[in-house]
Amino acid sequence: MDRRRREESIRYWAPHAKQDAAHRDKARIRVVFGGNRSGKSEFCSKEVAAFALGARLWLPEDDPDYLTGRKGPQKILCVGESFNEQVKKVLVPKMLGGFIEETGETVPGSLPAAEIKGTKKNQQGVTTFIELRNGSQLHFQSYDQDPALFESTDFDVVWFDEPMPYSIWIPVQRGLVDRMGVTICAMTPLREPWIHQKIVKREDVSVYVFYTQDNVGFGLSQAGVDDFARNLDENEKRTRLRGEFFHLQGLVYDLYVRNSHIYRQPREKLLEKGPDGRFLIPHDWGVTMAIDPHPRTPHHAVWVVARPDERLIVVGELRAPEGNNNVAEFAKQILNYERNFLRVHSDRIRRLIDPSAKIKNPVDGRSMWDVFCDAGIYTVNGSKNRDGCIAMTKEHLRYSPEEGIYPTLFFCDDLPGIHDELGQYIWDDWTTRTGQYKTEKQVPRDKDDHFIENLHRIIADEPRPIDPAMFEAQGDVYTSDFSAGY
């Protein structure tokens, strides 16, 4: 390749079919999942360069997608996993050209050398800033920096390379609001399961999956792919070759994700309506709730009803506001939620709580359990047998029509907290241990599981409906027009 062609490599970019489609997409958030060497980072570097230059120079000038549609100099953020690895060894060489240790090759930069006005490096010698002659700027940061460093900064375009922490995603998205900025993500989804729940499932997000094989003939040979595949177990092949979410293979409740259309139901399918048109929990349905209080993190609560046909329905969730973890205030929120949303009298509710709530405060000698009692919320200790609770919950979720087995646990679809947790509840270390190396004793990751812990305690308590005979004199009738969705 001659010098000019090396320096202006963006003009000679020949994307494969999926890369081309991703370049032409108009969504403000585009996510590319791909296996190793599938061309995902190459796509991002070329698209970022196009935004910086104002045009996709590899396309004919009369192509409708030649111009990016963004006017004026662009302020661009490129973020990788760490400065000394991802930024130094991948992102910067992709933009400026140089040796990439990951592949062992020297590559031309996506930015033409003639367009670069200047660069800056940090004390470690890593390029952190590139300015182009047209005024566009590229800033480089990494996930191992303090999330506070991403606050109060606005950008036109952001490139996330590999799965990003949620604590960084949020401030960066805030920084894109004023300029209606564009986000491009490229990742082999080995970590950060929240991405599946909070980004992939959004209707305004475009998702592309690049297989490693897509890049055969565009930088890879089939022999090279086959040789790489021989080093992987079956689970890793699904992620590293095909870009599938690795955490979904390590979900504790994988049945829930695969059959979420069955378990998650609109409230009108699961509950009746009273004379005033609001949803009603019949008097003969048992109601059990559980509280997971914490001295520092927000308190959580979950409500489950038991129908006379032995089906259980998760009907409520409540989380204390961030920064307001007052126990007495949360007790008021619980009573208000039950009275005005669930419309269930407190006398009908069986209450469970994490046993740690009875630990006395050394300052005044009182516990969180005491404060709940002061508000009229009387609780008993919930189960701490996590393994047993998981087994019981899985039994409720079983679904095998060919065997005549149907689920007995359902969730109202307007409970985002518990649905998010179920979709991210994985076995600990799943992202760093492959199946054959995992120990026999699997332990769920202890993170973002407060709603699930409440659900576990309720399931272990084996909720029961109330004896209908108690209400015969009042004329209450149970109806069974239940649509389970299967």
Distance between CA atoms of residues 290 and 453, nearest Å: 9
Q: How many Å is the maximal CA-CA distance in the chain?
A: 93
Question: Which two tokens mark 274?
Answer: 């009273």
For residues 378 and 317, membership in a common domain is answered with yes
Distance between CA atoms of residues 140 and 121, nearest Å: 10
Is 485 part of a structural domain of the chain? Answer: no
pLDDT at 433: 44
Tokens 């999926």 locate to: 18
For residues 239 and 334, membership in a common domain is answered with no
Mean pLDDT of 266-279: 87
Between 294 and 333, where is the model more confident? 333
Of the candidates 290, 282, 235, which has an alpha carbon nearest to the alpha carbon of residue 430?
A: 235
Query: Which strands make up the sheet holding 409-412, listed edge to edge?
Result: 264-265, 409-412, 312-319, 300-306, 286-292, 349-353, 380-381
Distance between CA atoms of residues 215 and 103, nearest Å: 14
Mean pLDDT of 229-249: 46
Evaluate if residue 470 carries a pLDDT over 50: yes
Side chain identity, residue 327: V
Is 49 part of a structural domain of the chain? Answer: yes
Evaluate if residue 481 carries a pLDDT over 60: no
The total number of structural domains that make up the chain: 2
Is 21 part of a structural domain of the chain? Answer: yes
Mean pLDDT of 288-309: 93
Mean pLDDT of 163-167: 88
Share of the chain above pLDDT 90, in %: 45
Domain boundary among 246, 281, 307: 246
Domain boundary among 188, 213, 246: 246
Residues paired with residue 29 on neighbouring β-strands, in sequence order: 183, 205
For residues 396 and 439, membership in a common domain is answered with yes
Q: Supply the range of the domain harboring residue 417.
A: 260-474
Evaluate if residue 432 carries a pLDDT over 60: no
For residues 305 and 164, membership in a common domain is answered with no
* Long-range contacts, stretch 357-364, CB < 8 angstroms, 24+ apart: 357/291, 357/293
Of the candidates 79, 69, 9, 74, which has an alpha carbon nearest to the alpha carbon of residue 41?
A: 79
Evaluate if residue 483 carries a pLDDT over 50: no
Is 446 part of a structural domain of the chain? Answer: yes
Evaluate if residue 116 carries a pLDDT over 70: yes
Mean pLDDT of 281-289: 91
Distance between CA atoms of residues 196 and 306, nearest Å: 31
For residues 353 and 452, membership in a common domain is answered with yes
Mean pLDDT of 276-302: 91
Of the pLDDT bands very low, low, confident and very high (cuts 50, 70, 90), residue 461 is: very high
Share of the chain above pLDDT 70, in %: 79
Using one digit for the tens of pLDDT, what is the confidence trace for 2-40?
Answer: 444 444 578 889 898 889 999 999 999 998 887 666 788
For residues 317 and 371, membership in a common domain is answered with yes
Beta strands in 354-471 (DSSP E): 380-381, 409-412
Tokens 């690895």 locate to: 85
Between 200 and 458, where is the model more confident? 458
CA distances from 116 to 9, 130, 326 (A): 14, 7, 55
Of the candidates 480, 454, 475, which has an alpha carbon nearest to the alpha carbon of residue 465?
A: 480
CATH number at residue 285: 3.30.420.280
Q: How far is CA 402 from the centre of its chain?
A: 32
pLDDT at 341: 93
pLDDT at 275: 84
Is 254 part of a structural domain of the chain? Answer: no
Evaluate if residue 438 carries a pLDDT over 60: no
Of the pLDDT bands very low, low, confident and very high (cuts 50, 70, 90), residue 445 is: low
Of the pLDDT bands very low, low, confident and very high (cuts 50, 70, 90), residue 435 is: very low
For residues 319 and 235, membership in a common domain is answered with no
For residues 298 and 328, membership in a common domain is answered with yes
Is 480 part of a structural domain of the chain? Answer: no
pLDDT at 198: 80
Global confidence as pTM: 0.57
Using one digit for the tens of pLDDT, what is the confidence trace for 38-63?
Answer: 788 889 999 999 999 999 999 999 99
pLDDT at 102: 63
For residues 234 and 292, membership in a common domain is answered with no
Is 479 part of a structural domain of the chain? Answer: no
Least confident of 256-260, 302-306, 403-407: 256-260
Domain boundary among 246, 279, 312: 246
DSSP one-letter string for 190-231: SS-THHIIIIIT-TTEEEEEE-GGGGBTTTB-HHHHHHHHTT
- Please calculate the CA angle 238-241-242 and round it to the nearest 5 degrees: 60
For residues 321 and 381, membership in a common domain is answered with yes
Side chain identity, residue 44: C
| 349, 352, 353, 354 alpha-carbon torsion, rounded to 10° | -160
For residues 336 and 441, membership in a common domain is answered with yes
- Residue 473: partners with Cβ closer than 8 Å, 6 or more residues away: none
Distance between CA atoms of residues 422 and 392, nearest Å: 15
Mean pLDDT for the chain overall: 81
Is 292 part of a structural domain of the chain? Answer: yes
For residues 357 and 401, membership in a common domain is answered with yes
Cα Rg of the chain, angstroms: 27
Least confident of 51-55, 128-132, 284-288, 434-438: 434-438
Query: Which strands make up the sheet holding 182-187, listed edge to edge?
Result: 116-121, 127-132, 137-142, 75-80, 157-161, 182-187, 29-34, 205-210
CATH number at residue 239: 3.40.50.300
